[in-house]
Amino acid sequence: MNQLKRIMRLPLLLILSVASASVPVNVPAAQAAPRDGAEPGQAAARSPLLDAMKTELERSLGVLGKLDPPAYYIGYTVTETQRAEVSGSNGALLSSTEGKSRWLEVAVRAGSYALDNTRKVGERPSPTAGPGGPAPLDDDAEVLRRTIWLETDRQYRAAAEALMKIKTGKEVKVETAEGQAPDFSREEAHTAIGPRAAFTLDRKPWEQKVRAYTQALRASPAIINSIVTFTAQAQTQYQATSEGTQLQFGQTRYRLELFIQGKAPDGMDINRYYNFDWVNPGEAPDDKAVYAAEATLRKELEGLVAAPLIEPTAGPAMLTGRAAAVFFHEVFGHRAEGHRQKDISEGQTFARKVGEAIFPDFLSITDDPTMRRLGKTDLLGYYQFDDEGVPAQRTPLVEHGILRGFEMSRSPLLGFPHSNGHGRRQVGYAPVSRQGNLIVQSSKMVTNAQLRAKLIALAKEQGKPFGLLIDDIEGGFTFTGRGQPQAFQVLPLVVYKVYTDGRPDELVRGVDIVGTPLVSLTKIVATGDTPEVFNGYCGAESGSVPVSAASPAILISELEVQKKESATDKPPILPPPAHDAVKTGGGR
């Protein structure tokens, strides 16, 4: 998880996990509340937490709203999390835990919608009071109000001090046109009460599962380590604001992660990862699907351990759908997040390009967090309301190559005065505009087989002996800060050389895709006809949030790859004990 720093920005990091289609059930299922808690407006029991929050909100605003500077907005959020995790390694159980927690966040804005304590003057971020703190698990109104009272006081004092410094800084700092937009948008109040998200889980069967899944991976001498982790998480949010919003909604997610690690003779670490995500407890993967995924991971890892290194090159490349989805997430998605157009320390790549062509005209992109699924695959970027109390909305970003808009939080831009429900954060962080479900569509589609043929034809035209087929990815990151190059890096795991002379494809390793956005986006020449999905967790200044992206395979006329960073430690001197040819007693 990387936070963006002032001047020397760390990259936005995507921890990728490849999604899979749903399969029949043959694993112990948890019993859960409805998929997402409820749809907006569905009848449910109202938590006494909301009444306590509302009462303390009215009391606090009645006093703090009359001070100098006035608190013009107060928002309370209590996030209730129930989480179970079972993890195994190499045939043994590592851990099995379950717990429940609540976290209180208080947002106090001093000043006005036009200018408040959150404004960033120059490159220095406005000071804050921190991310909140634990809240009591008991539904005791008086105890909760006392916790809220203390945190509200702390947040107001920090907001008042920050606003004073901001007003002083404005007198000596130049302000860009983008920075003249208001600091906070006025939005309609919403009320929606859904049931709490919860599950009941017997961890014992899952403990046996992770033992069995990791024991099966010991059959390969190339696998140095294996870890399988099952998680169940139910999260319910309670929101109350001085504008009148009152929300109670939740969501339950399940995940099974498979991870194996090997090492090439030259010291390069070889990692393979796969995961299953589901929302309905009855849609967990069966044993057959898990063992099939493990067999694929094992085969790929064994091939990569023996594969040759690739030299840095630039030429035509085909990215399968999952790899293409990460490409769009990194190269375009982060630069379409609204707050990056406003911040003077950001590269502001697209800030003044609305209405201009930034893609070929056959590509269109939306960000639609209202989508639960694409085909049979659950989308991790689905949610009902964002973390600022605004309903999730389908947002057109690019139409036929033309930039139309941005993912917006409640930090307005000139020409974009309102949120479109993309203010997101990990618990304990302040929300900013973030991606949800990034969906890429194309009007210039061919079959994937035809796209491969076009790859070979392009390589021949350019006098290249091969093109690259990038079939799977680990994740990626991008730099958006003005103090560093506007570059991206996508981290492939499975890459093939596709030769123009008809030789069989050759698996290679040590490849990183690199480039800059304004050039790379224009070099897409065609797409496949079958969208694929990735599900993952993306880290940025508002923490790690679940995201999805979907794209067909793409063909790029020129893509640059560089050598991957590598360790230099040699593989273990001895083979794994079960694969040692020397038997007990010294016999061979």
pLDDT value at residue 236:
98
CA 489, 493, 494, 496: dihedral to nearest 10 degrees?
40
What is the C-alpha to C-alpha distance for residues 148 and 103, in angstroms, rounded to an integer? 11
* 578 belongs to a structural domain: no
Last residue of a domain, one of 285, 300, 326: 285
* Residue 370 lies inside a defined structural domain of this protein: yes
**269 lies in the same domain as 373:** no
pLDDT at 36 (0 to 100): 40
Please indicate, yes or no, whether residues 268 and 322 belong to a single structural domain of this protein. Answer: no
DSSP notation for 107-156 = EEEEB-SSSBTTPPBTTBPPP---S-EE--SS--HHHHHHHHHHHHHHHH
Other Cβ atoms closer than 10 A to 25: 15
More confident call, 481 vs 243: 243
Q: Which SS3 state, helix, strand or coil, does residue 93 take?
A: strand
pLDDT for 125: 62
- On whether both 258 and 369 belong to a single domain, the answer is no
Does residue 15 lie in a domain region? no
Give yes or no for a contact between 270 and 302, defined as CB atoms under 8 angstroms apart: no
Maximum CA extent, the chain: 87
Q: Using one digit for the tens of pLDDT, what is the confidence trace for 426-462?
A: 999 999 999 999 999 999 999 999 999 999 999 999 9
Together in a domain, 257 and 322: no
Domain of 216, CATH number, reads 3.30.2290.10
Q: Is the separation of the CB atoms in 83 and 232 below 8 Å?
A: yes
Distances (CA, A) of 582 to 308, 578, 579: 30, 10, 9
Q: Is the residue at 292 inside a domain?
A: no
Check whether residue 178 and residue 250 sit in a common domain. yes
Within-domain flag for 74:
yes
**Least confident interval from 49-53, 252-256, 264-268, 388-392:** 264-268
| Domain total in the chain | 2
So what's the pLDDT on residue 574? 84
Claim to verify: residue 169 and residue 251 sit in the same structural domain: yes
Question: What pLDDT does residue 566 have?
Answer: 72
Task: Identify whether residues 350 and 227 lie together within a single domain.
Answer: no
Residue 171: CB atoms within 10 Å:
7
Answer yes or no: is 215 within a domain. Answer: yes
Give the pLDDT score at 483.
56
Element of type H or E holding 476: strand 466-478
Is 554 found in the same domain as 502? yes
Tell me the pLDDT tens digit for each residue of 339-393.
888 876 665 778 789 999 999 999 999 999 999 999 989 999 999 999 999 999 9
Q: What are phi and psi of 91, to 5 degrees?
A: 95, 0
Where residue 582 falls among pLDDT bands split at 50, 70, 90? low
The one-character DSSP state at 339 is G
- Mean pLDDT for the chain overall: 87
Range of 260's domain?
25-285
Tell me if 80 sits within 8 A of 238, measured CB to CB: yes
Residue 518 lies in a domain: yes
Q: Which residue in 347, 349, 350, 420 sits closest to 388, CA to CA?
A: 420
346 and 268 in one domain?
A: no
From the list 146, 302, 143, the residue with the least C-alpha distance to 220 is: 302
Query: What does pTM read for this prediction?
Result: 0.89
Q: Indicate whether 279 and 318 sit together in one domain.
A: no
Same domain, yes or no: 244 and 351: no
User: Is the pLDDT reported for residue 10 higher than 70?
Assistant: no
Question: Is 97 within the bounds of a domain?
Answer: yes
Residues 322, 422: one domain? Answer: yes
Mean pLDDT of 211-225: 96
